[in-house]
Amino acid sequence: MAQIGFIGLGKMGGNMVARIKRDSEHEVVTFDFDAGAIDNTVKKGAVGAKSLADLVKKLEAPRLVWIMVPAGDPTQQTVDKLAKLLDKGDTIIDGGNSKWTDDMARGKELRKLGINYVDVGTSGGVWGLEVGYCMMVGGPNPAIRRLKPFLDILAPPPDEEHGPGWGHMGPTGAGHYVKMVHNGIEYGMMQSYAEGFNLFDASEFKLDNAKIAHLWMRGSVVRSWLCELAARAFELEGNDLEALEPVVAESGEGRWTVEDAVEKRIPMPVITAALYERYQSQGRGDFAAKVNAALRNQFGGHAVQRRADG
């Protein structure tokens, strides 16, 4: 039996703990600022901790501590606090969506203390509890060998065609780098489906979007899990998605992918366009549209649409 600590028990973290406890005898010690989230994991067989210090105290050295908190300052603050509590030979695992350059910097600082740092790009979302998480891992070999029992449990079972559901991508930072590009590709795929169904919505035919998505899953070259999810979304939300606002958020990884492509002078027209489409959905292109309308009015006398209160 192995042992691990989990910090951050939201949708992803809580489900990962649940999968470990459901499918193994491994011990999990959990902490979150939400006491209710801790209680939920305790009901599933985990051991709750009152603080980061209490979590570290409950783990036997050499310790494994997995972080599932938002990227940026929350992750950095958690790593900094743990660095003061952990000992040489312990390992911090970041399973969130950190930027790979942040991982490299953290790994360098933690090596000075003899603490290992592993970055795990985690894909699977809320479905991970049921089907497992695809995990792209970066970090030192000894630490990953110790982490392997948990990666094996969290990942989908291996199959003959594709192998295991997790892979060691390289040194610290490589895991989140591969996950970043994965998310950039995801942006492009999602945008392609969205544009296709947008055309269906404007068609003279009364098309059943869920039926089409299901049909495309039957041998079509565009079949994918995203296509399955499109069918599910149309069934749950209705053919016209009337209750949804046309606003698409972005977590940063698509932007980082495009920024890295620009830095390396690698053309990424599809992923870049998909990223900009998300900005457009957030109203960030509204002023540009106003400028376009004003210019057409000035050079051609074309009518402009004015606000009712303008």
Percent of the chain with pLDDT over 70: 100
pLDDT band, residue 125 (cuts 50/70/90): confident
Mean of the per-residue pLDDT values of the chain: 94
Which pairs count as long-range contacts for 24-30, CB under 8 Å and 24+ apart, including other chains? 24/149, 24/153, 25/1, 26/1, 26/2, 26/149, 26/150, 26/153, 27/1, 27/2, 27/3, 28/3, 28/4, 29/3, 29/4, 29/5, 29/55, 29/58, 29/59, 30/5, 30/6, 30/55
Residues whose CB falls within 8 Å of the CB of residue 14, separated by 6 or more in sequence, listed in order: 37, 40, 41
pLDDT at 188: 96
Yes or no: say if 57 and 29 are a contact pair by the CB < 8 Å rule. Answer: no
State how far the Cα of 164 lies from the Cα of 255, in Å rounded to an integer. 29
Residue 68 neighbours by CB under 8 Å, 6+ apart: 6, 7, 8, 9, 10, 12, 13, 16, 95, 96
Q: Work out the average pLDDT over 188-216.
A: 96
Instruction: Indicate if the pLDDT at residue 309 is higher than 80.
Output: no
What is the predicted pLDDT for the residue at 113?
Answer: 97
- Looking at the annotation, which residues are catalytic? 179, 186
Give strand pairing partners of 123.
Answer: 134
The yes-or-no verdict on residue 214 having pLDDT over 90 is yes
Concatenating the DSSP letter of every residue in 244-276 gives S-S-----SHHHHHHHHHHHHT---HHHHHHHH
What is d(CA 229, CA 241) in angstroms, rounded to the nearest whole number?
14
Q: Is 241's pLDDT higher than 90?
A: yes
Inter-residue contact 17 to 26 (CB < 8 Å): no
Quick: pLDDT tens for 86-96: 999 999 999 99
- Do strands 116-123 and 134-138 pair parallel, antiparallel, or not at all (unpaired)? antiparallel
**Most distant pair of Cα atoms in the chain: their distance:** 77
Q: Which of 159, 152, 138, 165 is nearest to 19 (CA)?
A: 152
Mean pLDDT, to the nearest integer, of 87-116? Answer: 97
For 298, half-sphere exposure in the C-beta direction (CA atoms, 13 angstrom radius) is 6
pLDDT by residue (tens digit) across 11-64? Answer: 999 999 999 999 999 999 999 999 999 999 999 999 999 999 999 999 999 999
pLDDT, one tens digit per residue, over 140-187 is: 999 999 999 999 999 999 888 888 899 999 999 999 999 999 999 999
Write down the pLDDT at residue 310: 60
Q: What is the pTM of this model?
A: 0.92
Residue 118, phi-psi category: left (phi > 0), alpha (psi -120 to 50), beta (remainder): beta
Q: Cα angle at 10 between 178 and 171, to 5 degrees?
A: 25
Please provide residue 281's backbone torsions phi and psi, each rounded to the nearest 5 degrees: -65, -20
| Per-residue pLDDT, 65 | 98
Which residues lie closer than 8 Å to 289 by C-beta, 6 or more apart?
none
Q: What is the mean pLDDT of residues 202-229?
A: 96
Q: Give whichever of 137-141, 156-160, 250-254 has the largest mean pLDDT.
A: 137-141
